[in-house]
């Protein structure tokens, strides 16, 4: 405690607070969209928010304190995006079972130390393309919402562009504020449904379904590992922290298993919000920035306690506002996915196939688009790579005397 008091700084605490606000103003929107698509009752949504908030808070606080590194944990944004199309097709207990399986897979990868080896074997372009394909519909729905609520959506887009130009850190927060203001002006807010209440966790016993495990569990584990842990570790490395991934992945995965029966779809290392707490804005001294991670964890826990209030607030918002905010919040992730998919010319065709199959939303043999996108992409990568390697070997052999 003496060390904490000495290292405590207002800038680090503020950095942790901003990271939490941006998490709730951006990635949490995807959770509400998935919940609306699945027609989940408010008490279940409240429990879901409680689970991901408390889980993120405890794991981030513990890791930051233990490792003396600003470790920011959060819920899986691409995982929540995957659930938007998948939850309506399975029961909630089956989805919970798939969450547990995904978390166990990630825990095994973390405890075994196989994360780096696994990532080196999976073509990065295909992983990036699958992530971009999952998120594509959110970007598209932003613009299809214009025909339903033109004033609202256009005002949100304008706000995003202006703040992205002059103050990128607050772009999504500004979009939420402008969206709420415009909705209130046109009488679109259902303020009567807003209640102030403490969240009550709802225990949901998992059910085991191969359909749910293959369509939700496996893609959820893959997109969390590639779409969250890879960029999250890159943020830490860029900031000068050489902390091994094993302890971070293991703790968050175990936390995910424990929180899954209460609705949590997965806890993981954050990337976008982590950059706020690992930079010089948090503290000039790199060794004292871990306070931002601890502060972030505390604020997550406080917000999670009032998960029922958050659920009622977001249920009062127009669905076009939520869809637009989700699309704008995911611009960066979609851009990163497409950039990673098309960066390597040798993997470009396989990545394109992965993206198109995943974005199509197809379903075949009871298996969803994300699964088939990965399969088609890997097959295309193998065939194209094998063909090119064979031709290269044949040319090299023919040129020998």
The predicted structure's pLDDT at residue 51? 93
β-pair partners for 364: 367
- Looking at the predicted structure, is the pLDDT value of residue 366 above 70? no
Q: In the predicted model, what is the mean pLDDT of residues 221-229?
A: 80
Give the span between the Cα atoms of 299 and 278, in whole angstroms.
17
- Looking at the predicted structure, is the pLDDT value of residue 45 above 80? yes
Q: Which domain range does residue 92 map to?
A: 1-345
All residues at 6 or more sequence positions from 354 whose CB lies less than 8 Å from its CB, including other chains? 126, 129, 130, 133, 341, 373, 374, 376, 377, 380
Most confident of 18-27, 106-115, 283-292, 293-302: 293-302
Residue 95 lies in a domain: yes
Nearest to 293 by CA among 64, 121, 1: 64
Residue 393 lies in a domain: no
> How many of the other CB atoms lie within 10 Å of CB of 336?
18
- Looking at the predicted structure, is the pLDDT value of residue 58 above 90? yes
Residue 359 lies in a domain: no
The predicted structure's pLDDT at residue 93? 92
**pLDDT tens figures, 181-207:** 888 888 877 766 667 777 788 999 999
Residue 272 lies in a domain: yes
Q: In the predicted model, what is the mean pLDDT of residues 57-85?
A: 88
Q: What is the mean pLDDT of the chain?
A: 81
The predicted structure's pLDDT at residue 398? 57
Residue 357 lies in a domain: no
Q: Quick one: what percent of the chain has pLDDT higher than 70?
A: 87
The total of structural domains in the chain comes to 1
Give the SS3 label for residue 289: coil
Tokens 């191969």 correspond to what residue? 210
Residue 395 lies in a domain: no
**pLDDT tens figures, 308-331:** 676 667 667 777 887 787 777 777
Q: In the predicted model, what is the mean pLDDT of residues 239-252?
A: 85
| pTM higher than 0.75 | no
Give the span between the Cα atoms of 245 and 358, in whole angstroms.
28
Residue 321 lies in a domain: yes
Q: Model confidence at 391, in pLDDT bands (50, 70, 90)? A: low
Residue 375 lies in a domain: no
List phi, psi (to 5°) of 205: -65, 130
Can you read off the two tokens belonging to residue 63?
């890791």
């Amino acid at each position: 405690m003496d060390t904490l008091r000495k290292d405590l700084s207002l800038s680090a605490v503020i950095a942790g607070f901003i990271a939490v606000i941006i998490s709730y103003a951006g990635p949490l929107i995807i959770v509400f969209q998935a919940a609306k698509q699945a027609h989940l009752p408010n008490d279940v949504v409240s429990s879901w928010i409680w689970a991901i908030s408390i889980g993120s808070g405890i794991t981030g606080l513990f890791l930051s304190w233990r490792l003396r590194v600003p470790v920011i944990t959060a819920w899986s944004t691409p995982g929540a995006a995957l659930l938007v199309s998948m939850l309506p097709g399975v029961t909630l207990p089956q989805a919970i079972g798939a969450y547990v399986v995904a978390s166990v897979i990630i825990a095994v990868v973390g405890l075994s130390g196989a994360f780096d080896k696994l990532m080196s074997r999976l073509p990065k372009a295909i992983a990036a393309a699958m992530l971009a394909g999952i998120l594509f519909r959110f970007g598209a729905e932003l613009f299809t919402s214009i025909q339903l609520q033109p004033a609202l959506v256009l005002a949100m887009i304008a706000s995003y562009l202006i703040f992205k130009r002059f103050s990128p850190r607050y772009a999504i927060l500004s979009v939420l504020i402008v969206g709420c203001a415009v909705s209130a002006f046109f009488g679109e807010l259902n303020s009567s449904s807003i209640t102030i209440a403490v969240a009550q966790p709802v225990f949901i016993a998992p059910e085991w379904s191969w359909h749910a495990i293959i369509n939700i569990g496996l893609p959820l584990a893959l997109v969390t590992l590639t779409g969250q842990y890879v960029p999250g570790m890159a943020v830490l490395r860029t900031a000068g922290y050489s902390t091994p991934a094993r302890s971070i992945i293991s703790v968050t995965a175990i936390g995910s298993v424990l929180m899954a029966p209460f609705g949590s779809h997965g806890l993981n290392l954050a990337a976008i919000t982590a950059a706020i707490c690992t930079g010089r804005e948090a503290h000039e001294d790199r060794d004292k920035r871990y306070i931002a991670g601890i502060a972030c964890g505390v604020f997550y826990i406080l917000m999670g306690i009032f998960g029922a209030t958050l659920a009622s607030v977001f249920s009062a918002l127009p669905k076009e506002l939520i869809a637009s905010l989700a699309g704008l919040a995911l611009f960066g992730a979609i851009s990163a996915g497409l950039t990673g998919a098309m960066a390597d010319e040798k993997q470009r065709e396989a990545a394109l196939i992965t993206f198109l199959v995943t974005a199509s939303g197809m379903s075949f043999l009871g298996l969803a688009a994300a699964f088939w996108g990965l399969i088609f992409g890997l097959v295309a990568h193998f065939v194209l790579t094998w063909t090119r390697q064979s031709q290269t070997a044949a040319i090299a052999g023919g040129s020998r005397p």
